[in-house]
Amino acid sequence: MKLAALMAERTGRSATAHWDPAFGEIDIAGLSADSRQVAQGYLFAALPGARLDGRRFIPNALNAGAAAVLSTMDVTPDTLDGAAAALITDPQPRRQLAWMADRFFDAQPATQAAVTGTNGKTSVVSFLQQIWSAAGRNAATMGTLGIRGPGIGRRGALTTPDPVSLHRDLAALSRDGIECLAVEASSHGLDQFRLDGLHLQAAGFTGLGRDHIDYHGSMDAYLASKLRLFTDLMPAGGTAVVNADSQVFDRVRRACEQAKLRVVSYGRAAEDIVLRAWTPRPGGQHLDIALYGKAATVELPLFGEFQAWNALCALGLATATGVAPAVGLDAMQRLRGAPGRLEHVGSRRNGAAIYVDYAHTPDALETVLNAVRPHTEGALAAVFGCGGDRDAGKRALMGAAAHRLADRAIVTDDNPRSETPSAIRAAILPACPGAGEIGDRREAIFAAVSSLAAADTLVIAGKGHEQGQIVGETTLPFDDAAVARAAIAAADAEADATGGTAGEGAA
C-alpha cells in the first residue's frame, strides 16, 4: 500500500498527523510497533510505553529496512539520521496507528458491537454471539477468551490486542465469512487507542465498579476511558445499550446523547428493556420483561441474577443490529454460560456444588456470592485472593465482601506476580475475620472441596478461565476448574475410604 493511501482520511476522523506528502508514493509492506518485527518496507510505530520507549529503537527499525516511522510530535527528521524514510508525527500516535491498521488491512466483519463495563463483558459478548447464531448469522467473539466462533478457537493474552494484531484478525475473520463480531472493550484498550478503527453499529455498557485504579488513578478517569467507546469510536446514529441500574447511568446517557447515539436502556429502572420481575428456579431463573413496550417471559437457563442483566444487554445489542425481538427472546432460553463465568465444574457425591468464576473485584465477588445464595440450601464457601501489582485498595474490600456474604472462606494466592504472596493475603485477612489462610492455591481448593457437606456450595473466585498462575516473572500451569475436579474425585474417594465421614462441613 502506498503511504498516501495509508494516510488518507476517513469519515469522522480529523487529520492530526504531520508528514511530507513527497513521500506519498513509498510502498508500505507492513506495520509494527515492535522493532524486532520490522522488515523491509515496514512502517515502524515508535511509541513511548510504560516500560520501554519505542523511540529508542528507531535506529534498529531503520537498519531493518523501515520505510516510514510514526511517532510523537517531538521526534524530528534529524532522528532518522539521514535515512530515506518518511517521518509521521501525531499528537496521538497510538490512535493514528489504529487508523492506519484499519486502512492497511481494509476488511472487517460487516456487523460489530463492543461491550465495556467493569464486569460482564465476556458473558455479554458470548450471549450476543449465541443470539446472532440463533438468527442464522455467522458470528464470533473477541476478548478475554481470545477469538471464538464456528471453527475458530484461539486464546489471547490480552482482553484487547494491539491495533495491528486486532485489524489483522478482523480481516482474517472477514475472509473466513464471519458476518457479526462481538468485542470486549477493556478500559486499558480504550485508553491506549487499541480499538480505534473498529466499524461499530452498537455498543453496550454493563456498569462501573472498582478496578484498575492502579492504572487509571481515579474512578473518574476509569469511567472516562470507558466512555471513549461511545464518544470517540461510535458513529453518530449508532446505538448505545446501557444498564439503567448502574449508578453512573445518567452520566453515560448524557455522553451518548451528546455523541448523537440512540440510547437503549435495560434493567429494572429501564424504559426500553425492562426487567419487571425475577424469580430463581432450580435450573436457572424466570424473567418477566417488557421489550420495547411488549410483555414477554423468559426461562433463562443460567444461575445468578447478574446473568439476567448480561442477557438483557446482549438482547439489546442483538435487536440494535437487526435481530427480530422474537428470535432474540427465544435464543435467550438456550443460552450457555461463558467459560469461567459462574461455571459449574462439578459436584460432590453428597450433592455439594462447586463453581469457578472470574470475579476479581469487590463488586464481582459480591455479585457471584449473591447469585449462588438462592440456590444453596447448606453453607456457602469461598476460595479467593487478590492479584499482585494491581490495585491494593480493593484487597480489604474483597475480604469484607467474602466475610459478609460467605459462611466460610479461605484466602489464598491469585496471581501474586512480583509481590510477596503472604503480604497480599495479610492485606485481605483483617477484613475477613475467621477465614482460613492457605497460600498454595491447589491446597486451598482441595481443602475447601473436602470440607463441603451435603447441599453446600463452593465458589472458587478470581481466575475463572485462566490457564496459568503468575508468580514472579513465571506463569505456572494452573486451571481452577481442573484442580476442582481433581479435588472432587479425591474428596469422594476419601469419603468412601472413611465410610462417608469426610466432607461433613469441617471448618
pLDDT, residue 4, reads: 94
- Phi then psi for residue 461, to 5 deg, are -110, 150
Domain residue ranges of the chain, discontinuous segments joined by +: 3-103, 107-332, 343-497
* pLDDT > 60? residue 85: yes
Express each pLDDT in 220-242 by its tens digit.
898 999 999 999 999 999 999 99
* Order of strands across the sheet that contains 30-32: 30-32, 42-45, 68-71, 86-89
According to the CATH classification, is domain 343-497 in 1.20.1070.10?
no
On average, the pLDDT of the chain sits at 92
Per residue, what are the HEC states of 416-462?
A: CECCCHHHHHHHHHHHCCCCEECCCHHHHHHHHHHCCCCCCEEEEEC
Q: What is the mean pLDDT of residues 337-352?
A: 90
* pLDDT > 50? residue 488: yes
Distance CA 264, CA 203 (A): 10
Residue 273 C-alpha from the chain's centroid: 23
For residue 459, which of 506, 505, 405 has the smallest C-alpha distance?
Answer: 405
Give the CA dihedral 56, 60, 63, 66, nearest 10 degrees.
-80
Q: What is the mean pLDDT of residues 11-16?
A: 68
Percent of the chain predicted with pLDDT > 70 = 94
Q: How confident is the model at residue 505 (pLDDT cuts 50, 70, 90)?
A: very low
Percent of the chain predicted with pLDDT > 90 = 80
Residue 7: strand, helix, or coil = coil
More confident position, 29 or 371: 29
DSSP 8-state code for residue 30: E
Q: Measured between alpha carbons, how far apart are the two ends of the chain, in Å?
A: 66
Q: Over the range 117-133, which residues count as b (16 or more CB within 10 Å of their CB) and which as e?
A: bbbbbbbbbbbbbbbbb
* pLDDT > 80? residue 215: no
Work out the widest C-alpha separation in the chain, in whole angstroms.
85
The pTM (predicted TM-score) of the whole model is 0.81
According to the CATH classification, is domain 107-332 in 3.40.1190.10?
yes
The structural architecture, per CATH, of the domain 3-103 is 3-Layer(aba) Sandwich (3.40)
DSSP 8-state code for residue 374: G
C-alpha cell at 334: 438456550
Q: How confident is the model at residue 157 (pLDDT cuts 50, 70, 90)?
A: very low
As a whole number of Å, the CA-based R_g of the chain is 25
* Order of strands across the sheet that contains 262-267: 152-154, 146-149, 139-143, 180-184, 111-116, 202-205, 239-243, 262-267, 273-281, 284-291, 294-300
Q: What angle do CA 344, 350, 353 make, to 5 degrees?
A: 15
pLDDT, residue 152, reads: 78
More confident position, 502 or 67: 67
